[in-house]
Structure 1
Amino acid sequence: MSTERGRPEVDEVRSAFFQSAYEQGAPWDIGRPQRAIVELWEAGEIVGDVLEVGCGFAENALFLAAQGLRVCGVDMMEPAIARAREAASARGLDVDLRVGNALRLAELGRRFDTLVDSALLHVFEPEDRPAFAASLASVLAPGGCYHALYFREGPRAISPEALRAAFGPGWKVRSLREAHYEETDPEGAAAWLATLVLSHPRTVIDSKEDTREGDVQGLDLPGIPPRDVKKVGKATAGRGAWMHQEAEEGLAGSPGNSRKRG
């Protein structure tokens, strides 16, 4: 999913990185939906019209379509969408799979009841996350839910307070719990699974420029006492060996360094 507007050099670096990953065997290509997403479905948390943003090979979207939901999947990488379309056809599934930009989701021309994000959120730099939140708000129906599975540890980790900094007025963090992100490496990665509810889309879009990293007032994280918010979810450097390889190659030091998705 293209995630930078006005910085074409970042798009180029990110696209080259993902192109290489898809060609060499992406660690997020596990050939099945993420267990955390399946559990959300089983709990009745994914309903109505669904958008998977940054869908990659779209195993999550295909799984949800197989359950009878009306599903759209969007990703920036044409090879990923092409393979996802082939898989949908082979399985007899009707899924709207598109090449698109995560910061311009309004161009889809429709709204959704549920948004699903499997490891796209942590691709964004902190300064870009409010714009991403506004893009999500432009396609999510009021009262709808955004479910995000993202790294809890490592160089791309997002802490609870950073989550609140990105999703400010108009959003409510309904739940945040520890989860597991599955990869081709059986060990996988430590993750957060967050569910946010959109109450006022216009507020999100109007206030995105005022949202700043470090704004933790009003953070509503069920099960986490306010005094402990800053202690929870601090990044460590123990996860993601291939991200460290990316850094050695000079990609992680650029504005477009990223790790993705399944």
Structure 2
Amino acid sequence: MSDDFADRRARAREKLDAIDPHKREGGVAADPKRVKWFEAVYELAGDDPAAVPWAGLAPHRLLAQWLDGRSLAGLRALDVGCGLGDNAEALAAAGARVTAFDLVPRAVEWARRRFPQSAVDYRVADLFEAPPEWRGAFDLVHELYTLQALPDRLLPDAARSLASFVAPGGALLVIARARDEAQGIDGPPWPLTRAQIEALAIDGLRIASLEDIAAQGDMVRHWRAEFVREEARG
């Protein structure tokens, strides 16, 4: 990230925080799912990716590490909250047949423009009202930073939605900022506690691995967790 990019990001973040109702008392009622704010992010960004706080213009390093040397050939993958598409493209480059979705139409349009020759199926969809044909349809579900952007009361519903996408024998990979239970936070975003990560093991999912990754360089502490669903028995 260049100094200029970082400066543009910081200025954009300041403006976005100023219009985020969840930064104010009583703001949850004004925009409970943060839909209006997410739409405002992409509208105000124009064509500047620096103004989209989660757009790194490259796969997230913790996803890239997880994918390193790993083949997803033939697997059906779902990228949740795809943003500008870098993580979805990394999954496709590893061999997966990828469906990627975002709540905001402008984000999906932007991703399609960035990768015009992509095999990724970019869709507009809502995590809480996903297409019924996605139920149990994916061998790998990848979730990065969507959960930490949601208020606590939405996390149980989000967990059920994520679990519903995972096929028998499939996996859910979650990457999120981490915090201790007693640690004060001034979100959003709201880094997740271990208990919140462990609570994703529902509806037939179990924890296969849970990494507590210490801060390094410009990256704060993160969780990287993998959940699996057992193969269906005949």
Is the structural similarity TM-score above 0.5?
yes
Match of 2:224 among 150, 170, 193: 193
Give the whole-Å Cα distance in 2 for the aligned partners of 1:125 and 1:113: 28
Give the whole-Å Cα distance in 2 for the aligned partners of 1:181 and 1:55: 24
The secondary structure found in structure 1 opposite 2:115 is helix
Aligned residue type for 1:197: V
- Residue-by-residue CA offset, 1:168-225 (whole Å, 9 max, x unaligned): 352211111133799xxx7233211111113499xxxxxxxxxxxxxxxxxxxxxxxx
Offset, 1:117: 1.1
Match of 1:112 among 128, 131, 138: 138
The secondary structure found in structure 2 opposite 1:138 is helix
* C-alpha RMSD of the superposition: 2.9
Match of 1:172 among 182, 202, 206: 206
Counterparts of residues 41-190 of structure 1 (less than 5 Å): 41-44=67-70, 46=72, 48-89=75-116, 92-109=117-134, 111-153=137-179, 154=185, 155=187, 156-179=190-213, 187-190=218-221
Give the whole-Å Cα distance in 1 for the aligned partners of 2:77 and 2:103: 18
CA 163–94 in structure 1, closer or farther in 2 if over 3 Å, else same: same
Give the whole-Å Cα distance in 2 for the aligned partners of 1:14 and 1:197: 33
| Equivalent residue, structure 1, for 2:41 | 18
Give the whole-Å Cα distance in 2 for the aligned partners of 1:117 and 1:130: 15
CA 76–70 in structure 1, closer or farther in 2 if over 3 Å, else same: same
CA 70–31 in structure 1, closer or farther in 2 if over 3 Å, else same: same
| Equivalent residue, structure 2, for 1:258 | none
Identity %: 24
TM-score (norm 2): 0.70
Moved more, 156-165 or 28-37: 156-165
Q: Is the 8 A contact 1:72 1:96 kept in 2?
A: yes
Aligned residue type for 2:164: S
| Equivalent residue, structure 1, for 2:14 | none
Offset, 1:17: 4.7
Counterparts of residues 207-218 of structure 1 (less than 5 Å): none
Aligned residue type for 2:174: A
Aligned residue type for 2:201: F
Q: Is the 8 A contact 1:66 1:93 kept in 2?
A: no
Q: Is the 8 A contact 2:78 2:140 kept in 1?
A: yes
Give the whole-Å Cα distance in 2 for the aligned partners of 1:38 and 1:191: 14
Residue ranges of structure 1 left out of the alignment (5+ in a row): 1-6, 202-262
CA 40–93 in structure 1, closer or farther in 2 if over 3 Å, else same: same
Aligned residue type for 1:122: Q
Offset, 1:46: 4.9
Give the whole-Å Cα distance in 1 for the aligned partners of 2:122 and 2:43: 21
Give the whole-Å Cα distance in 2 for the aligned partners of 1:159 and 1:45: 30
Give the whole-Å Cα distance in 1 for the aligned partners of 2:208 and 2:44: 34
CA 75–180 in structure 1, closer or farther in 2 if over 3 Å, else same: farther
The secondary structure found in structure 2 opposite 1:83 is helix
The secondary structure found in structure 1 opposite 2:70 is coil
Structure 1's consecutive aligned runs of 4 or more residues displaced over 4 angstroms after TM superposition are none
The secondary structure found in structure 2 opposite 1:61 is helix
Aligned residue type for 1:159: T
Residue ranges of structure 2 left out of the alignment (5+ in a row): 1-28, 180-184
Offset, 1:151: 0.9
| Equivalent residue, structure 1, for 2:5 | none
